[in-house]
Amino acid sequence: ALRFKVYVFNLQHVVAARNIKAGEVVMKEAPLSYGPNDITKPICLGCCAPVTIKSPTCDICGFPMCSKECINSKVHKEFECEALKRHGYKVDASTFNFGGVELTYAIISPIRTFMLKEKHPDLWNLTWMQMSHLDKRKKLDFWKTETEKIINLLQIMTGLKVRDKIVSIPTYHLN
């Protein structure tokens, strides 16, 4: 059995009420959102496998994928693919840095998270209950340089609006 404990500042954690065997599964939980790291080489947005200049690309958004199955994956189609389509943007994978870090992938996790508001409002509300490290991140050099680049990419590629430090991806009516 597990016990949930809440301490000062709403920090929560789980405490085992009995000894747990090595390798024993005690809890399963799907992530609220997920996506590639800010600093990654090009990968498939369906399964995270490496991709190359020769990999097939999504006809709608242009991202390279490892297979047709991943091109048609539910998360990819419903989130980043739809966000780029709404804004009429398609990436040009031929310009990607397949040998090193490709900044374009840094927009995927934010898109998937922001679009929860529209796609899964119950999960969107949970995202705001999570611990924020924003104040600590703003003090890092990374925040000052790379985060601005990521926000600019989001604005160009998805029509992201940044108002009063609140970020949202606009909802468009698809024709």
> Is residue 132's pLDDT more than 80?
no
Chain position carrying tokens 């959102």: 33
> Is residue 3's pLDDT more than 60?
no
Looking at the DSSP assignment, which residues form a beta bridge with residue 4?
Answer: 14
> Is residue 167's pLDDT more than 60?
no
Which pLDDT value is given to residue 50?
Answer: 96
d(CA 111, CA 70): 18
Mean pLDDT of 120-138: 77
* More confident of the two residues 142 and 3: 142
Predicted TM-score of the model (pTM): 0.75
Local confidence band at 1 (pLDDT 50, 70, 90 cut-offs): low
d(CA 44, CA 42): 7
pLDDT (tens digit per residue) in 39-73: 899 999 999 999 999 999 999 999 999 999 999 99
Dihedral of CA 96/49/152/87: which sign? Answer: positive
Q: Encoding tokens for residue 171?
A: 């909802």
d(CA 80, CA 82): 5
> Is residue 24's pLDDT more than 80?
yes
